[in-house]
Each structure stands twice: as structure tokens, then as C-alpha cells.
Amino acid sequence: MVATLKSLDDLRKLREQVQGEITERFGGEVKIILGMGTCGIAAGAREVMTAILQELRSRNIQAAVTQTGCIGMCEREPLVDIIRPGEERITYGRVTPVDVKRLVAEHVVHGRVVEDLVVARFEE
Amino acid sequence: MEELSLHILDLAQNSISAGARCIGIEIEENLALDRFQMVIYDDGRGMSREFVARVLNPFTTTRTTRRVGLGLSLLEMAARQCNGGVEIDSEPGKGTRVRAVFMHSHWDRAPLGNIKSTIIAIISANPQLRLIYSHQVNERSFYLDTAEIITILGEEIPINHMAVLGWLEDYLSQGLAELYGGE
């Protein structure tokens, strides 16, 4: 019980630290959408999401990470969509946690599409 | 699924699709009774009695992309293989409750696995959702209600802020270590 109280106090301190920050968003956040239907989960989508959250955290990037259901391309799961503000929606397939560093470094940060993982692209 | 926590993530996705504002995950591990039980409940749109009667059938699905929905069927098969089963209660407009029971020591029972990453995956992608996670292992228990966290954070800081997710990860790791510690 004492350990629990200590951790919630850590959260209160964190709140004070975070409140002082100014969040700058130049034209909007990057959107990252993961397929989380049964097919995606069975293929390893959760581990991909964990890797994405960790990579964003280590690079201090605030992106909007959300999920979607099955879109019908089950054999290409785990699927990850990356949409930079004002740019094409790119769908990556058969993504593994190992690919995440590259996807974030290349596409999220520099807007360079990682061609070998692409399965679909759409103009927004 | 390789881990029971992946079934939990799958059921939570069903709840989210059903428009749930609140999802509860209750895990009870009782070694004396040799029982592993997990309950996932929500306040989503629910299912009719007629639909519930056939929902465990893989060809019964609300999906439009395919004519097969495997989530509940896989869970039911997994539980049955461990001398257990799945029970579903639902009421249209009220919500749904799925209970899966397994013989804890059964050779075929998949491990719970990484429940922490399941919890974080749900919270990070659904910051408006209230998630209540309760986990009991014999006499020990752990409890997390995102409503309490949101109260502490206030309105300006979302629960899926990077720093908050980092704290949450540590908090869950600590809680789970205490839960299983000394076993």
C-alpha cells in the first residue's frame, strides 16, 4: 500500500513537470494507425504498438497513435498506417518490431516512405 | 493466440467497436481451486439474445470485410481445451460481459503473457476510455482505474501523453511484480 501511494505521488509530480511544457505542433500531429482486429493481434500487432510507443518516447515525439479493426488484408498484418499532416496515407504491411525504428526515423521524422514495406498508399 | 492477454486485447477491441465508454478487465488466479478466470465487461451497445446464442460460431460476425470472426471462437476453443469454457451475458443498450474460465495447471493453458502491454495498448489508443483493471493472484490483488489517473492529471494532460505512459508502465511493472512476487 505504501509503495502504491508513492507511485501515485510520482504521478502528481509528473503532472507539475508536464504542465509547464509548451507543446509545439507545426501544422498538426503525425497519425499512426495500427490494425487491431483478431488477425492483427494474432500476427503480432501488440508488439509493434509497444515498439512504436517506445520509439516515439525515446525520440520525444508526440504522435496520435490509434487502432482500427480488420480492413480485409489479413495476410499482410500487422498493418501500420502513417499519415504526416498534409501528406499521403501510407499503409505498411507485415511490420515487425524490428522495422519500427526505421519507420519512425525515415517516415515519421523525415517524410521518407519506406518502400520495401509499403502495401498501399492513398491521397488524403 | 499465444498468450491469454492477447485474447483480452481482442475482446477489448470488440468492446471498443461496440461503442464502450468503460471497459473492465478482471483476472482471478486461484491456485487452490486450480482456476484461471478472466472477465471482460463493457457498457457498449450489447447483443440481442438471439445473437449471443450464435456468437461463438466463427461464421457469426459483425465484420464486413470477411464472413468469419474468429476472436470469440478461438477463446472458447482455448478455454474448452483446458476443461473450462466461455460464458457471455449481454443486453442490447446495456453492455456485454464475457467470462472465460480455464483449469490453471492445464498443460494446454497458454500463459497470461504480457498483460502490461495489453493494458498500455488499450489505454494509449483510447485515452477517453475508462479502463478498470483488477487482478487477483491467490490472496494478493492489484487494481487500476484510469478514472483515478485522469483525476490526478486534470483536464489538460491526456493519459496517453508520453511521460504518463512511461509512468504507467513502471506502475504496472511494479504492481505485477508484487502480485506474483514470492510465488
| Mutant choice from A38, A39, A52, A53 vs B, greatest count of B C-beta within 10 A | A38
pTM reported for the whole predicted model:
0.93
How confident is residue A1, by pLDDT bands cut at 50, 70 and 90? Answer: very low
Q: What is the ipTM of this complex?
A: 0.91
Q: Residue A70: its chain B contacts at CB < 8 A?
A: 63, 65-66
- Tell me: the pLDDT tens digits for A54-88? 999 999 888 999 999 888 888 999 999 999 999 99
Query: Do B162 and A57 lie within an 8 Å CB cutoff?
Result: yes
Whether residue A18 lies within 8 A of chain B, CB to CB, comes out as yes
Give the residue from B31, B1, B3 showing the smallest Cα distance to A38: B1
Compute the nearest-CA separation of A113 from chain B (Å): 23
Query: Do A34 and B125 lie within an 8 Å CB cutoff?
Result: yes
What pLDDT is stored for residue A27 in this prediction?
A: 54
What pLDDT is stored for residue A19 in this prediction?
A: 76
- Tell me: the pLDDT tens digits for B59-93? 888 777 777 788 999 999 999 999 999 999 999 99
What DSSP assignment string belongs to B46-106? ---HHHHHHTTSTT----SS-S---HHHHHHHHHHHTT-EEEEEEETTTEEEEEEEEETT-
